[in-house]
Structure 1
Amino acid sequence: MIYIGVTGWGDHDSLYAAGTSPRDKLKEYGGHFPIVEVDASFYAIQPKRNADKWVKDTPESFQFIVKAYQGMTGHQRGDIPFESKKEMFDAFRLSLEPFQKANKLAMVLFQFPPWYDCKRENVDYLRWCKQQMGDIPVALEFRHQSWFSPQLQDQTLLFMKQEGWIHSICDEPQAGSGSIPTVLYPTNQKKTLVRFHGRNVHGWTKPSEGNWRDVRYLYKYNKKELEEWVDRIHQIRKESESIYVLFNNNSGGDAADNAKQFINMLGIEYRDLAPRQLDFFS
């Protein structure tokens, strides 16, 4: 099965009727896509009441990809509001329980920062992370090119396969050491994640100052670029049962439109989405 969606549900204006309350957007989102990435969990470990609401607001078959908290992936600078890494991981796992009980947790995404390079202490930390997450499906996305250098790529992929990590395959700008190539190699027979970040090299390399999100993911995929990925998705499906595709190119509001375009190009029709509200004046 191929599941297609976008990252977050609050900023995709093309999906919602004018005046839609932020509290109701996820309900509406579930009428368009079968999966979503939860980004709020990256900035703070979410209280269970939030996850309970999100579970109730979505169809029975809906799936969430929950992004790991920034303190777990080394993004957070300064003090972390936990006495230990173990306590932090315990709190994060507890926050996932509503998704798990509803059978709506597709995976947790560990996305590591551009400065997280391939060295022994980082490999050891990845092993520790996997142990802490137990049997929860976990995806791994790198941002430092060293993991996929010619001399280390095979070892990286073998490590991910042996440790049980789901490979997060990326389409992103090729902008030096702070980006990774597209490596079409599933490391998990059941699940593979594909994330479209756009190809805006200028935005990708812009220093992380001010509202950098306004430019980093400013990109609209054209038909030819998506057609290339139709073949790639079919290739990946030969080795992985379910493919989860997320469009993250939303600085200009293009993610939802590109996701719908890609669904049509793949000839997919999702039959168990939420009912959509009718807007007779659109």
Structure 2
Amino acid sequence: MITIGLTGWSDHETIYSSTGKHKLEDYAGHFPMVEVDTSYYAIPSPQTTEKWVEQTPEEFSFVVKAFQAMTKHKEWQQYYDSETEMYRRFMDAIAPMSERGRLKAILFQFPPYFGCTKENVTYLRATREKMGDLPLAIEFRNKTWYTESNTPQTLALLKDLGFIHTVVDEPQVGNGSVPIVLKATNEEMTLIRLHGRNSAGWMKANSPEWREVRTLYRYNEEEINYWAENIRYLQKQTKEIIVIFNNNSGGDAADNAKQLQKALDISYEGLAPMQMNLFDI
């Protein structure tokens, strides 16, 4: 099973109805899954996530990004009175999705300075303990996890903890990025996130214009076919592959996702009805 979607539902002008007032509903008419990235910046309320569930078909699912203090980008003390409260708030937020069978995975994307150290291995083990048996996908942004000597141990650790390996396509610039590692660590699911290959933009993570340039990239036909082959290869290792296009800066994600869907000859049932304007013919 191959499930293709995008990061967020607010930056994809080519798939909205003429009014553009119901972006999530419009999105769900094209793709069966979405990555929620707003949860990285602020944990949503259960009322909000319940609304998202109600606005989408029963077959629609969510990958939810872990809050930034859960992935060491920030300190939890900046937001909550205790770490326990932070995790409780997050668990409450995902409950409407999880209880309805609409949660595919929680994505823990770690920062470039989260390297392969004993301390961070301990943190990964503690994360699994805190999150119980929920489906957790791990994405690294530090190359030390995938050195020649560390790669087998990294994959073994993920497998041992039941983590879903996140395979990434991103610019290869220093230690703040990781190579493509086509290995599954969870027999149920593997995540693929396609960030584009804009090296110059990727280096501007902390600049004022980062949203406009960081993932400004459009995959060409050869690159789409390359990933179609990679996905076919990974299908031999895992039951479901979640593919998320994150090249949003220039609005290219939706078109590239549909290109990949065509290359893999995939169609989806149970999508939302297409929203039509009264005067559309």
- On whether the aligned pair clears a TM of 0.5, the verdict is yes
Shorter-chain TM band: over 0.9
CA distance in 2, matches of 1:227, 1:20: 31
Corresponding residue for 1:2? 2
Q: Between 202-211 and 231-240, report the one with greater CA deviation.
A: 202-211
8 Å Cα contact 2:235/2:241 also seen in 1? yes
Q: Between 201-210 and 231-240, report the one with greater CA deviation.
A: 201-210
Q: For residues 161-207 of structure 1, give each alpha carbon's deviation from its aligned partner in whole angstroms, at most 9, with x where no partner exists.
A: 00110001001111110000000000000001000000001111125
8 Å Cα contact 2:18/2:276 also seen in 1? no
Corresponding residue for 1:31? 29
**Runs of 5+ consecutive residues of structure 1 not aligned to the other structure:** none
CA distance in 2, matches of 1:37, 1:259: 13
RMSD: 1.3
Q: 1:40, CA displacement in angstroms?
A: 1.0
Q: What is the aligned counterpart of 1:182 among 180, 183, 187?
A: 180
8 Å Cα contact 2:70/2:76 also seen in 1? no
Residue 254 of structure 2 is aligned to residue 256 of structure 1:
yes
Residue identity opposite 1:272 in structure 2:
G
Q: Between 68-77 and 79-88, report the one with greater CA deviation.
A: 79-88
Corresponding residue for 2:169? 171
CA distance in 1, matches of 2:28, 2:157: 35
- Paired residues, number: 280
**Runs of 5+ consecutive residues of structure 2 not aligned to the other structure:** none
Q: How does 1:1-282 map to 2 (within 5 A)?
A: 1-21=1-21, 24-76=22-74, 79-279=77-277, 281=280
Q: 1:79, CA displacement in angstroms?
A: 4.3
Give me the TM-score of the superposition, normalised by structure 2: 0.97
8 Å Cα contact 2:17/2:26 also seen in 1? no
Residue identity opposite 2:110 in structure 1:
F
Q: Between 97-106 and 12-21, report the one with greater CA deviation.
A: 12-21
Q: 1:271, CA displacement in angstroms?
A: 1.5
Q: For residues 142-174 of structure 1, give each alpha carbon's deviation from its aligned partner in whole angstroms, at most 9, with x where no partner exists.
A: 000000011111100000000110001001111
Q: 1:89, CA displacement in angstroms?
A: 1.2
Q: Between 155-164 and 84-93, report the one with greater CA deviation.
A: 84-93
What percent of counterpart residues are identical? 48
SS of residue in 1 equivalent to 2:70:
helix
Go from structure 1 to structure 2 and tell me whether the alpha carbon gap of 1:187 and 1:207 turns closer, same or farther (over 3 Å shift).
closer
Q: For residues 197-222 of structure 1, give each alpha carbon's deviation from its aligned partner in whole angstroms, at most 9, with x where no partner exists.
A: 00001111125121312111000000
8 Å Cα contact 2:16/2:26 also seen in 1? yes
Go from structure 1 to structure 2 and tell me whether the alpha carbon gap of 1:207 and 1:70 turns closer, same or farther (over 3 Å shift).
closer
Residue identity opposite 1:19 in structure 2:
T
SS of residue in 2 equivalent to 1:251:
coil
CA distance in 1, matches of 2:120, 2:81: 21
Q: 1:78, CA displacement in angstroms?
A: 8.3
CA distance in 2, matches of 1:237, 1:51: 31
Q: 1:101, CA displacement in angstroms?
A: 1.6
Residue identity opposite 2:41 in structure 1:
Y
CA distance in 1, matches of 2:244, 2:104: 13
Q: Which runs of 4+ in 1 moved over 6 A?
A: none
Go from structure 1 to structure 2 and tell me whether the alpha carbon gap of 1:188 and 1:78 turns closer, same or farther (over 3 Å shift).
closer
CA distance in 2, matches of 1:36, 1:10: 11
Q: For residues 47-74 of structure 1, give each alpha carbon's deviation from its aligned partner in whole angstroms, at most 9, with x where no partner exists.
A: 0111011000111011100000001001
Residue identity opposite 1:249 in structure 2:
N
Give me the TM-score of the superposition, normalised by structure 1: 0.96
8 Å Cα contact 2:4/2:33 also seen in 1? yes
Q: Between 156-165 and 271-280, report the one with greater CA deviation.
A: 271-280
Q: 1:77, CA displacement in angstroms?
A: 5.8
